[in-house]
């Protein structure tokens, strides 16, 4: 009776899910990722990972993404995406000056500051 | 004699107003309870003793002057992803270790304005990503009913504190079940309001289109009172709801006669623990005896909710957590260039689950995949909303178990990230729909662990949701307390 949990379990844990989603995905218009270029992803995310970590996360991501085929297999032609559940379009507030953080308060939590600015290492590597 | 730490918020309010005890007495009782239980639970990351004392003393002055605010002098805990001015806020991450925010989030400032006493900041899964509070950089929280078990998550610290009496009420955040599931696992009441009802300003963002702040309390009326204190439009959150706020506590005493209650087919069978199912069924039968019209309702798209969630939530988290880059706050690991500094800082500062979700989200949003993953998941979200809309054309509320199981053992689901994700199968759909839902404790399983019952309502349907929740609370008559809360309290 509990379709959701059974299919979710099977769809997540196996390459071939019991309900035949994999079969349906064959007709999907979307490219299924075969190999994830995990090094590129880690670079885009600006997270310096070791080779071992890259290998582990790469494997885990591929595993987790198997469930994406369930979502991709659903016919959604003409369905509008939902990004906000309430029918609100524009959110206006009065355009008036209000109190904000002082510069000192804004800088107080920073790891490094100089002359009232956030201080960072050199931006361009010119070596 | 009742220890003051065991009072409900309603009873404490009456006691304060009658002069039976002071806000300082109440704070002392809660802090004494924490002194006993924290060694076993680790519900708190920070206890703000000085700030709480000042607030309690101010509350006593106001009480003496007849100030009627309902939360005046009530000791509450806040999840540590809710920023509090001058009080360390880490979201349980190394990357924010030591950060003292220069401002209060809207929920925190509304609670202060209501005269509440903020006892401290509670533990969570790092950046609210998890279902057990084991993903905290500062160590896990334990379940007060059995300290070998998890309290659920990610608001596990808030739930454990309320269950054991080291706070009379608390707030958490719920992105996929992070208030309701820990409430279920700790025998407390936890509510996720309609998306937009509570401002997210000052809530450290995880998945912005799903995150909502909500209350955890020991009773349904207490949870309603907590929620009422924080709802409302906020110019600082463009997604906060700018229409009329729904009534929350107006119908608590009305019962369920004549209400139509839908039992969600897909959450009523396989995959749910038999003891949980049996307890749920018993409550549903009692609701029917109490005059509700109970029908079975199928939500076919719910089958895809978990999969859609694990595309949407990581995608939004990868964007939100880009702000932690070692420049403006928190941790910095030095590097030769700014980019190297950022990459090293983020590698050192984020734990494994957060790293995994950032990578997953970064991948899902990267060129060529955006529409296939995020776009498609947002369309599935529409299908799910359509299912809910059609259900709410036939019934007033939907019900199900809150969690497929009672509290699981510490370490049981940490090895494989996927197994942990299933803990949220009953709760995730309402986040995707943006609807409100609440968990109410209904009994204990054979191992003595609490079982939670979930009531879902259409957007802005808080009034009927709390109405049914209050009746479930009366029918279940769940009065058990965790052993830790009833053990002899040592006076320091």
DSSP B286-333: HHHHTT-EEEEE--GGGGGHHHHHHHHHHHHHHHHGGG-SSSSSS---
Chain A residue numbers touching B349 (CB-CB < 8 A): none
pLDDT at A94: 85
pLDDT at A84: 81
| pLDDT(A45) > 80 | yes
Cross-chain residue pair A109–B356, CB shorter than 8 Å? no
Cross-chain residue pair B382–A81, CB shorter than 8 Å? yes
Cross-chain residue pair B347–A57, CB shorter than 8 Å? no
Rounded to a whole number of angstroms, the distance from the CA of B481 to the nearest CA of chain A is 31
Q: Which of B194, B334, B372 sits opposite A72 (nearest CB)?
A: B372
| pLDDT(A11) > 70 | no
Q: Radius of gyration (Cα) for chain A, nearest Å?
A: 24
Rounded to a whole number of angstroms, the distance from the CA of B238 to the nearest CA of chain A is 6
Q: What is the ipTM of this complex?
A: 0.93
The arithmetic mean of pLDDT across residues A29-51, rounded, is 83
CA distance readout (Å), B427 to B181, B254, B452 = 8, 26, 12
pLDDT at A20: 33
Residues of chain B above pLDDT 90, percent = 94
Test the B interface: residue of A9, A25, A51, A71 with most B CBs within 10 Å: A71
Chain A: residue nearest B271 by CA? A5
pLDDT at B490: 40
Q: Which residue has the tokens 């996927």?
A: B418
Chain A residue numbers touching B96 (CB-CB < 8 A): none
Per-residue pLDDT band at A93 (split at 50, 70, 90): confident
Per-residue pLDDT band at A69 (split at 50, 70, 90): confident
Q: Which of B164, B89, B229, B159 is nearest to B402 (CA)?
A: B159
Q: How many CB pairs under 8 A join A and B?
A: 232
- pLDDT, tens digit (0-9, with 9 covering 90-100), for B417-446: 888 888 899 999 999 999 999 999 999 999
pLDDT at A127: 57
Q: Which of A9, A41, A111 sits opposite B366 (nearest CB)?
A: A41
Pick the range with the lowest mean pLDDT from A14-28, B25-39, B326-340: A14-28
The residues of B annotated as belonging to the active site are 79, 154, 178
Per-residue pLDDT band at B69 (split at 50, 70, 90): very high
Q: Is the peptide bond before B409 cis (omega within 30 degrees of 0)?
A: no
Q: Which residue has the tokens 């369905």?
A: A79
Rounded to a whole number of angstroms, the distance from the CA of A14 to the nearest CA of chain B is 11
| pLDDT(A73) > 90 | no
Per-residue pLDDT band at A67 (split at 50, 70, 90): confident
Cross-chain residue pair B359–A8, CB shorter than 8 Å? no
pLDDT at B1: 63
Cross-chain residue pair B336–A125, CB shorter than 8 Å? yes
- Can you tell me the distance from the alpha carbon of B181 to that of B150, in angstroms, rounded to the nearest whole number? 11
Within an 8 Å CB–CB cutoff, is residue A70 touching chain B? yes
| pLDDT(A25) > 70 | no
Per-residue pLDDT band at B400 (split at 50, 70, 90): very high
More confident residue, A124 or B335: B335
pLDDT at B430: 97
Give this prediction's pTM.
0.93
Rounded to a whole number of angstroms, the distance from the CA of B164 to the nearest CA of chain A is 32
- pLDDT, tens digit (0-9, with 9 covering 90-100), for B185-207: 999 999 999 999 999 999 999 99
| pLDDT(B329) > 90 | yes
Pick the range with the lowest mean pLDDT from A54-63, B23-32, B169-178, B338-347: A54-63
Chain B residue numbers touching A94 (CB-CB < 8 A): 235
Cross-chain residue pair B359–A38, CB shorter than 8 Å? yes
Per-residue pLDDT band at A9 (split at 50, 70, 90): very low
The arithmetic mean of pLDDT across residues B104-124, rounded, is 98
- pLDDT, tens digit (0-9, with 9 covering 90-100), for B139-157: 999 999 999 999 999 999 9
Chain B residue numbers touching A59 (CB-CB < 8 A): none
Chain B: residue nearest A112 by CA? B327
The token pair at A28 is 């999907």
Cross-chain residue pair A1–B459, CB shorter than 8 Å? no
- Kindly give, in sequence order, each residue whose CB lies less than 8 Å from that of residue B453, ignoring residues fewer than 6 positions away: B279, B280, B283, B399, B401, B402, B439, B440, B441, B442, B472, B476
The 3-class secondary structure across B418-470, one letter per residue, is HHHHHHHCCCHHHHHHCCCEEEEEEEECCCCCEEEEEEECCCCCHHHHHHHHH
Cross-chain residue pair A1–B383, CB shorter than 8 Å? no
The strand pairing partners of B398, in sequence order, are: B262, B456
pLDDT at B302: 94
Within an 8 Å CB–CB cutoff, is residue A39 touching chain B? no
């Amino acid at each position: 009776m509990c379709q959701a949990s059974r299919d979710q379990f099977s769809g997540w844990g196996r390459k071939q899910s019991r309900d035949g989603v994999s079969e349906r995905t064959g007709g999907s218009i979307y490219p299924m990722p075969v190999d994830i270029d995990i090094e590129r992803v880690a670079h885009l995310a600006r997270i310096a990972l070791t080779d071992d970590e890259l290998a582990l996360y790469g494997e885990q991501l591929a595993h987790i993404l198997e469930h994406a085929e369930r979502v991709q297999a659903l016919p959604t032609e003409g369905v509008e995406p939902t990004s906000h559940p309430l029918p609100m379009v524009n959110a206006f507030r009065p355009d008036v000056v209000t109190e904000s953080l002082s510069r000192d308060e804004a800088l107080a939590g920073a790891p490094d500051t100089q002359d009232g600015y956030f201080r960072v290492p050199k931006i361009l590597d010119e070596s | 004699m009742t220890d003051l730490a065991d009072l409900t918020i309603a009873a404490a309010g009456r006691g304060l107003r009658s002069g039976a005890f002071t806000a300082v007495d109440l704070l002392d009782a809660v802090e004494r309870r924490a002194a006993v239980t924290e060694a076993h639970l680790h519900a708190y990351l920070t206890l703000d003793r000085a700030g709480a004392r000042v607030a309690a003393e101010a509350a006593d002055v106001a009480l003496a002057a007849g100030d009627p605010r309902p939360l005046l002098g009530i000791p509450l805990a806040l999840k540590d992803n809710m920023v509090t001015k001058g009080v360390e806020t880490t979201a349980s991450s190394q990357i924010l270790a030591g950060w003292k925010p220069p401002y209060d989030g809207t929920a925190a400032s509304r609670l202060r304005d209501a005269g509440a006493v903020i006892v401290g900041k509670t533990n969570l899964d790092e950046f609210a990503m998890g279902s057990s509070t084991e993903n905290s950089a500062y160590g896990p929280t334990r379940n007060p009913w059995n300290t070998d078990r998890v309290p659920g998550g990610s608001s596990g610290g808030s739930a454990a504190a309320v269950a054991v009496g080291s706070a009379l009420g608390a707030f958490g955040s719920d992105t996929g079940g992070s208030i309701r599931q820990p409430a279920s696992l700790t025998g407390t009441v936890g509510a996720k309001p309609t998306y937009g009802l509570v401002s997210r300003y000052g809530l450290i963002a995880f998945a912005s289109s799903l995150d909502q702040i909500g209350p955890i309390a020991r009773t349904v009326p207490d949870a309603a009172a907590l929620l009422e204190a924080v709802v409302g439009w906020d110019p600082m959150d463009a997604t906060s709801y700018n229409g009329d706020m729904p009534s929350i506590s107006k119908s608590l005493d009305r019962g369920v006669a004549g209400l139509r209650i839908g039992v969600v087919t897909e959450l009523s069978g396989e995959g749910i623990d038999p003891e949980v199912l049996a307890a749920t069924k018993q409550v549903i039968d009692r609701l029917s005896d109490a005059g509700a019209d109970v029908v079975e309702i199928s939500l076919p798209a719910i089958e895809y909710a978990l999969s859609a969630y694990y595309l949407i939530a990581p995608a939004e988290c990868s964007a939100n957590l880009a702000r932690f880059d070692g420049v403006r706050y928190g941790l910095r690991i030095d590097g030769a260039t700014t980019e190297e500094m950022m990459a090293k800082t983020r590698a050192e500062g984020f734990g494994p689950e957060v790293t995994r979700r950032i990578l997953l989200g970064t991948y899902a949003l990267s060129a060529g995949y955006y529409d296939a993953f995020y776009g498609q998941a947002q369309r599935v979200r529409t299908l799910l909303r359509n299912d809910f809309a059609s259900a709410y054309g036939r019934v007033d509320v939907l019900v199900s178990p809150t969690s497929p199981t009672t509290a699981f053992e510490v370490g049981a689901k940490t090895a494989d990230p996927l197994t942990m994700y299933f803990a949220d199968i009953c709760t995730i759909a309402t986040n995707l729909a943006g609807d409100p839902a609440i968990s109410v404790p209904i009994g204990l399983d054979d191992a003595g662990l609490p079982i939670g019952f979930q009531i879902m309502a259409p957007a802005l349907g808080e009034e009927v949701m709390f109405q049914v929740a209050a009746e479930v609370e009366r029918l279940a008559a769940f009065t058990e307390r965790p052993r830790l809360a009833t053990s002899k309290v040592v006076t320091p």
